[in-house]
Structure formats: structure tokens, C-alpha cells
Amino acid sequence: MKNKHIQVVKKWIDDNDSVSQAERAENSDAAYAAFGAAAYGAYGDAYDAASNAAHGAFVGDAAYAAFWIKRYEELTNEK
């Protein structure tokens, strides 16, 4: 199952105007909440990576977001 937070960040990286600042803020908050819920589970590292990617998009740092997307994909074997 593809991570919805990662998908929003990828969409934003591909086209900065495709996701509003409000949507990026909401995505960042939701990704952080999901990470908090899963932090001690089997996918805690993957949720941490997704949360960091979403935060990167929220603050407008595409390089940071892309780094965490790559880390997420390494952890999950998901592209």
C-alpha cells in the first residue's frame, strides 16, 4: 500500500504549484500523527521517513523531502 503522505510530497516535488501550503501543512501534521501512532511498531522507521518528507514539503525544502522519500522507499521497497 502506498503511503499517502509520501504521494503528496512526490506530487509537490514534481510540480510545486500542485499542492497548496495549507495542504502541505495538513499533510505534515497528519504524517507526524501517523508516525507517533506507529513509532513503536514494525513500520516506525518508515513512518518517521514519511513524516520527515512531509515536513520537508511543508517548509518548502525539496531536497530534504526527496532525501526522506528515498529513505522511505529503501525501508519499504515501495516506489
What does the pLDDT profile of the chain (79 residues) look like in tens digits? 688 999 999 999 999 999 999 999 999 888 888 776 666 566 778 888 988 999 999 999 999 999 999 999 998 888 7
C-alpha to C-alpha distances, 32 to 17, 35, 54, nearest whole angstrom: 23, 5, 8
DSSP E strands, the chain: none
Length of the chain, in residues: 79
pTM exceeds cut of 0.75: no
Distance CA 64, CA 50 (A): 12
- Give the phi and the psi of residue 60 in degrees, each rounded to 5: 85, 25
